Amino acid sequence: MTEEITWRSPLAIDNYVEYKDEEFLNVLEIQSLKTNLTDFWPASGPRWDALAKSSSGKLFLVEAKSHITELISGFKGSNPTSIQKINKSLDETKKRLGLKKAAIGPSLFINTQTV
């Protein structure tokens, strides 16, 4: 069975905006979450480079990097409460995905060998 993917952003009609916070939920028509977004991640991030939804309802959230330096840049958080929230959410995500402890972290590297 073939699935259609409908890209919701970036779109010319929306001036190629990168959605964040509640905006990306609205674009993908996500009505409810298991965890409140404000409890999961600090406000104002991440800004998604692309968003899509398949005909079966699968969601695609894309964060693209165009330079190696973007991939290896260090974690830039400075607010201790935000850093704690990010680390907690990344740990929960690792568990749900069945990833090894060091598979992803604040630099947001994903080691596909552990997936």
pLDDT digit string (tens) for 54-80? 999 999 999 887 878 777 766 677 888
Residue 107: the pLDDT is 53
pLDDT digit string (tens) for 18-31? 999 889 999 999 98
Checking if the pLDDT of 7 tops 90, the result is: yes
Give the bridge partners for 102, in sequence order: none
The number of domains in the chain is 1
Report residue 102 as tokens.
């060091």
- Number of other CB atoms surrounding residue 35 within 10 Å: 10
**Highest mean pLDDT of the ranges 3-7, 67-71, 77-81, 88-92:** 3-7
d(CA 55, CA 34): 22
Checking if the pLDDT of 109 tops 60, the result is: no
Domain housing 35: 5-114
- Say whether pTM exceeds 0.85: no
